[in-house]
Amino acid sequence: MFGFWDWLVVGVYITGTTLVGHHLKGRQKTTRDFFLGGRNLPWYAVSASTIATTISAVTFIGVPALVFAENGNFVYLQLALGGVIARILVARFLVPLYYEKEFYSPYEYMADRLGATVGRATAGLFFLGGILGQGVRVYATALVLELITGWGMMTSIVVIASFAILWTWMGGIAAVIWTDVVQFFVLIIGGVAALIYVTDALPDGWTSLIEVGQQAGKFKTFDFSTDPRVAFTFWAALIAMPFQNVAVYGTDHLFVQRLLCCKNKREAQKAVLWSTIGELVPMLMLTVGVGLYAFYQYNPLSSELNTLVVERGDRIFPAFIISEIPVGLKGLLIAGILSAAISSLDSILAALSQISLTMFYKPFVEPAADEARMLKVSRWLVIVWGVVLGATAWQFSASELDIVTLAFSMTTYTWGPMLGLFLLSIAAYRYHVAGIGYGVALSIVVVLFINEPEILNSIIGTSYDSPLLAWPWLFPIGTAVCFFSALRGRRATGT
């Protein structure tokens, strides 16, 4: 299974990454250093960090499982279209807005346009979405640790959260970004190594992979279905997913924080545009999934592992790693999975800590505190949020949804209204905006009814037994409901 040499590889990786992050983090004298890296980080490091955070363990574990599953194929790749469109929009229109002043977050920008209450309301949505979305990612990695160590879900979650807290505490966002750069390369190397190994293990290598994949329809990439209950369609990718991705890269502080670490607007635009190459990673992991499917056509799973995979399909790639990958390389792949999880977790810890401090703690608790005091509080907030995320990950262990669906569906409640509020802050120059709280609440309720139709059944007596719409469509719906509910018509000239 997982032996001494594998643990040695993992240990060397974790130690080396920690030392790299500590060495490159720079001096941490102020909260500007801790949260924005002194606004002196190179665009290529920011871009690599963005990719590493986007990938996460959900991509590394969940995407191969999508293809391996019965009737699984490449349709997930269509979603990359929305990511490309969104990055162009964010670089062209949103990044310049964030560099108008010394903003520490997108919520400070919204507060500047619509008032402090709106900024804090959006920050609250970020807290909720960040905890739900990143909690899934911690849980995804805990599935792997649980399988290879026998520690149990709770112990696995505690180990992951502890390392993430350590790296964030150590040097703030600068340490996070530089460790992410290392993790980016580990992820790519791990994915490529897995693909090479599984291909070499097939009777005719790539020929076998392609033949088996084609026979099973695994390479189907486009689905032009107009059924709005199907998630992975071309129309969802083209129309709905740009809303999700603009919300991610333009309003979610997990990602915006990185862009604000760049030296200037131009560098930040380069960082977000170059992060588009990260869309190649899902293609790599989808191909790994086809390789796994082909491999197990020739080498059936053992009865023990088959029971585990049948119980939860997301275990297929971890099961392959621990049962088939040779010593050393096995450790590298587990290090890749750990790096994906810790990258996401330490990123969200830095972002949650910053928003808690600047939007809530300092204004209400210690408005006169100096920088040294705020830096100390920032580090304690990292610990608090680490505990909260670990507890959330534990709650997700009871879910029966696959990891990819679970990860995306958890964010449908918050990213729509967050983007709606951001658009309202831009529209406020020309239009009257009022009833924002009502708009946010209505947006969440509408998405809740669509996602959880049993609630609707109990109210109006319907009999729906599954979500009314696939999760991609909930992002534009949530955005539109929030935006138009708070719009009150054009301002009079001169106002």
Domain spans in the chain, listed from the N-terminal domain onward: 4-398, 412-495
pLDDT digits (tens, 9 = 90+) for 163-214: 888 877 776 777 778 877 887 888 888 889 889 999 999 999 999 999 999 9
Q: Which amino acid, one-letter code, is at 438?
A: Y
pLDDT at 18: 72
For tokens 């977000």, name the residue. 272
Higher pLDDT, 150 or 414: 414
pLDDT at 347: 74
The answer to whether the CB of 73 falls within 8 A of the CB of 220 is yes
What is the rounded CA–CA span in Å between residue 228 and residue 240?
11
Cα dihedral 250→253→254→257 (10° resolution) = 90
What is the rounded CA–CA span in Å between residue 269 and residue 177?
17
**Termini Cα distance of the chain:** 70
pLDDT at 22: 65
What is the rounded CA–CA span in Å between residue 246 and residue 242?
6
pLDDT digits (tens, 9 = 90+) for 365-423: 999 888 889 888 988 999 999 999 999 988 887 777 677 777 777 788 999 999 999 99
The answer to whether the CB of 279 falls within 8 A of the CB of 84 is yes
pLDDT at 24: 62
pTM value is 0.84
Band of residue 21 on the pLDDT scale cut at 50, 70, 90: low
pLDDT digits (tens, 9 = 90+) for 72-112: 999 999 999 999 999 999 999 999 999 988 888 899 899 99
Percent of the chain with pLDDT over 70: 96
Q: Which top CATH class is 4-398?
A: mainly alpha
- For residue 135 the two structure tokens come to 């909690």
The answer to whether the CB of 390 falls within 8 A of the CB of 138 is yes
What is the rounded CA–CA span in Å between residue 354 and residue 349?
9
CA neighbor of 339 nearest in space, from 51, 132, 25: 51
Q: What are phi and psi of 221, to 5 degrees?
A: -110, -35
Percent of the chain with pLDDT over 90: 41
pLDDT digits (tens, 9 = 90+) for 266-318: 999 999 999 999 999 999 999 999 999 999 999 998 888 888 888 878 889 98
What is the rounded CA–CA span in Å between residue 271 and residue 242?
18
Q: Which residues pair with 490 in a beta bridge?
A: 431
What is the rounded CA–CA span in Å between residue 418 and residue 245?
12
